[in-house]
Amino acid sequence: MKIWTTEQEAERLKGRFSTVNRAAFVREHKLRGGQSMIYQHINGLRPISLDAALVYARGFGCSLEEISPRLAEEAIIAASHTAPSERRQSIRDDVEDAPTITGQIKGIPIVGRVQAGPDGTISIDDYGYSDGHMMWYASSPDAYALRIRGESMSPRYLPGEIVGVDPSVEVQSNDEAIVILRDGRRMIKRLLWCRDGQACFESVNKDFPNIILDFEEIDKMHLVSGHIPKAAFRPD
């Protein structure tokens, strides 16, 4: 995992905020310190804390590693070397409060590889066994992880990356999910809205248009909890 400098973290965060209203972001995601904190972070005046990075990751729908590889690595190391009672005392900033993290760090099995097809559906090669585990947060004993194969879902998901999936969490608007249809097809989509017995989804690959499905067509949705840093891998 390549660690960025404070300046590189600031530059990338500034790029994410280039098309986002900061005041609206603060209101919606309750960032402690408000717009002043964002200003300090995107201009490299203050290193991003773990608490703030978690808010940014949640707000932009990305992994902690995409905000700060430094903090993602620190979180993994801290989790693997501290007792469960101490994990609740996460790395803290003396000004900002951390958002609530649901679930506990546990070994999530890597159960297959996922690749998108030319029609927007995905195929999952089920290993039939665990190909190692990822130490990460999950609220369900049925959580699992998948390897990304090929470039059909780039730039959102790149070859070799690992994503976590939690089937027990209710999928909300703007969440990404594995959508399992009653006819057996599966897709990775972002849920845009649900109303009047229908759901609208956005593709992770911009080459495919949004689709609207009747609720009756959907069997289940498994929440894609995001990228998991490669440093979280543990062999069986």
Burial class (CB in 10 A: 0-12, 13-18, 19+), 176: buried
CA distance 53 to 104: 19
Helix (H/G/I), strand (E/B), else coil: 172: coil
CA distance 104 to 176: 21
Taking 80 as the threshold, does the pLDDT of residue 18 lie above it?
yes
Amino acid 232: pLDDT: 85
pLDDT (tens digit per residue) in 59-114? 898 888 889 888 888 777 665 554 444 444 443 444 444 444 445 677 888 888 88
Spatial CA neighbour of 143 closest among 105, 181, 186: 105
Tokens 């894609």 sit on residue: 224
Class of domain 104-234: mainly beta
Domain limits of the chain?
6-87, 104-234
pLDDT (tens digit per residue) in 112-157? 888 877 666 777 767 665 678 888 877 778 888 988 887 777 777 7
CA distance 42 to 162: 27
Sign for the CA dihedral angle at 89, 93, 99, 102 comes to: negative
Tokens 């006819």 sit on residue: 183
The answer to whether domain 6-87 has CATH 1.10.260.40 is: yes
